[in-house]
Structures are given as structure tokens and as C-alpha cells.
Amino acid sequence: MKTRPLGRSGVQVSAVGVGCNPLSGSYGSRDDDESVRMIHRALDLGVTLFDTGDVYGHGHNEKLLGRALAGRRDEALIATKFGAVLASDATESDRSGLPKRSSIDGTPAYVKAACEASLRRLGVDTIDLYQQHRVDPTTPIEDTVGALAELVAEGKIRYIGLCEAGESDLRRAVGEHPVATLQSEYSLIERGLEGGMLGVCEELGVSLVPFAPLGRGLLSGTLTADTQLEDGDIRLSGAFPRLAAESLTANARLADAVRAIAASYHATPAQIALAWLLSRREWIIPIPGMPDDPRHLEENVASDTILLDAADIASLDALGEQVTGDRYKPELATNAGASTPPRGRSDTVEAGR
């Protein structure tokens, strides 16, 4: 498949990557053996970017990815995350994302300890892309990135990424060491980055890795008001107001508009949603969650062959103004775009976007 640049690293990765979080039960139960087969199928299709995190399944996700890549390590770029520290009493549903009973730790000592733990779980000597899961509002970003830079020098990681960072922290991080990627939510129905962060990424040479590019099933049409979700599915957690009963019916209709455009391209709604993202910038690399059906994986990968015309792009652009409900409930929203104190200060800066 086509490739895209990983920041200014000189490395190219597949235009569409894979988010591995669903393989640890965030959207319902999965079979590990089948998950390994799906990862192998993704490799066969030319996918090279696989995104995981130490918090997903309390380490299960990293172990699973490491198992799947054994013998095929050189075909994949492994991206994992650190910094979200789960409480000891976290429930299974908490473990699938960034739970309410967690803390954020970006201190240098934690960064290095977390890296060692991830290396062991993945069964590798080097992590290709190591990302701070959320900015720690009590630790200067320069201290966190300084520790990451030391890990680069030691050969334990290759490239640095941030997740959900705001403009100030991203600029300060790049001042400390090159940052290859910013991972944030971006899709037809989540357009917060268009207020300025896309321009900042362009200026700084940072590739954008959008998570939830299909709106957690809304844009693909697989999530409707009638969909029966399994117990433990994070979409039942109440974390996402857009998926709550009072908003879901209205938002699910947005997939109808995408489906209408998809028909003219002989494509699926998911393919159109991904093609729209790919059309925004040539350094945007979406990571849809790994589906449980290989046909859906094949469809996602093929989205890089679809070229949308200007009229359809304009129609899709308008969907961002038709979304009902907030992105996150308030207590989770404060974890996005956090701002840290300058180096030398320890006072807490209120997070928020």
C-alpha cells in the first residue's frame, strides 16, 4: 500500500495503520489466536504501523502484539504508549482506555521504568515510536522529553511521539528533541484540531496519527441505536456523550450521508471516512481499530486508493457541524491538551481544551 512520512524521521509507514486496543476487549471479547491471525493479515496487506499502549488490557495488548510479530519484527513499526497509570482497583472496562481512576505520570524515572516494562512485554530490544499517552500537567514537558531523548541515545526507542498535547507543550517538546508524531482524535465528526493544531504540526514537521477515525463505529455504520453491545464495551461506559442514547440516533444518521457518497465510489462508509482523512494532509496517518472481520480490515487498507472529488469533500466537511454531544465527559476531557509548567516549576496547571 501507499506510504506516508513519520514526521521528519526519514521513515515511511503505511498510509493506514492499525490501532490494536480493540484486541484487548475494549469493544467486546476477542480471541487471541484470531487476533494474531488478523495482525498477520494486516502485515500481508502492507500495513506497517501498529499502535498499542501499556495501559491496554493491563499489558495484555503489548504481549499480544509482541507474540504476533515474533518472526516478522522487521515488517512492522511498533508504536506504544506510557504515562497512564491505572489504579490498582481499576475494573476491566477501565482498562480499555484512559479510565477515570488513573493518574498521568511523565516523570523521568517513570518514563524509563515504563519503557523497560514495555520492552519486556513486547519481547523486543527497541520500540520504534514511544508516545506519551497524555501530558502530565505536573511535570514539565521538557523533563519528560529529555528522558525520552536519553532512551533514544541508549537505543531503546527510535522516535518520540505525544498524544493529545496542546500547542504550547508540542512546541516546547520539539525544542527539546525532534517529535515524530502527535496522536489525537480526528475524524469527520471530531474536528477540534482544525482550530490551529494542523498548522502547528505542518510547521513543526510532526505527523498526525488520528485515533478513532471512524467515530468508534458511528461513521462505518456499525454502531446504531439498535446495536447490541457486549458488557465491558467501552462505548457503554458513559465516557462518550456522542454515543449516549440521547445523541446516538442523531449521530448515527451521519453515516447515512457518508454511505450515500460511498455508493458513487463503490466503497464502504468506512473507506470514505478514511479517504477524507487521507485527503486532509499528506502526513496524516489514521489508525482505525483492528476489526474482527478480515473483510473490514481489507476495506480499511484499500481506502488509500480512493480519491474524493472536491464536491464530495465539501459535503463531508459539513458533517463536522452536525454532531450532537461532546467528545468526552468533563472529567476525561481535562486529560486532553494538558499544559505543563515550565521546567523548574512544580505547581499544577489546569488541563483542558
Considering the domain boundaries, does residue 257 fall inside one? no
Domain that holds residue 119: 3-215+277-306
Which pLDDT score, from 0 to 100, does residue 102 have? 73
pLDDT for res 93: 44
pTM score, two decimals? 0.92
* Greatest Cα pair distance in the chain: 57
d(CA 184, CA 213): 10
* Residues near 179 by beta carbon (within 8 Å), at least 6 away in sequence: 7, 145, 160, 161, 162, 170, 173, 204, 206
351 DSSP 8-state letter: P
Q: Is 328 a catalytic residue?
A: no
Name the residue among 136, 142, 175, 178 with its Cα closest to residue 338. 136
pLDDT at 85 over 80: yes
In a domain, 270, yes or no: no
Side chain identity, residue 327 = R
Question: Residue 86 domain-assigned?
Answer: yes
Q: Is residue 41 part of a domain?
A: yes
CB atoms closer than 10 angstroms to residue 228? 5
Tell me phi and psi for residue 252, to 5 degrees: -65, -25
pLDDT at 343 over 60: yes
* Residue at 48 is within a domain: yes
The active-site residue out of 27, 56, 110, 159 is: 56
Is residue 341 assigned to a domain?
Answer: no
CATH code of residue 205 = 3.20.20.100
**How many domains would you assign to the chain?**
1
Segment 195-200 shows an average pLDDT of 95
Q: Is the residue at 175 inside a domain?
A: yes
Q: Is the pLDDT of residue 99 over 70?
A: no
Q: What is the mean pLDDT of residues 178-183?
A: 98
What is the pLDDT at residue 195? 87
Q: Which of 56-65, 306-315, 316-325 has the lowest mean pLDDT?
A: 316-325
> What percentage of the chain reaches a pLDDT higher than 90?
79
> Average pLDDT, whole number, for the chain?
91
Q: How far is CA 151 from each of CA 112, 156, 204, 254, rounded to the nearest angstrom?
A: 7, 5, 22, 44
Average pLDDT, stretch 28-40? 96
Residue 265 included in any domain:
no
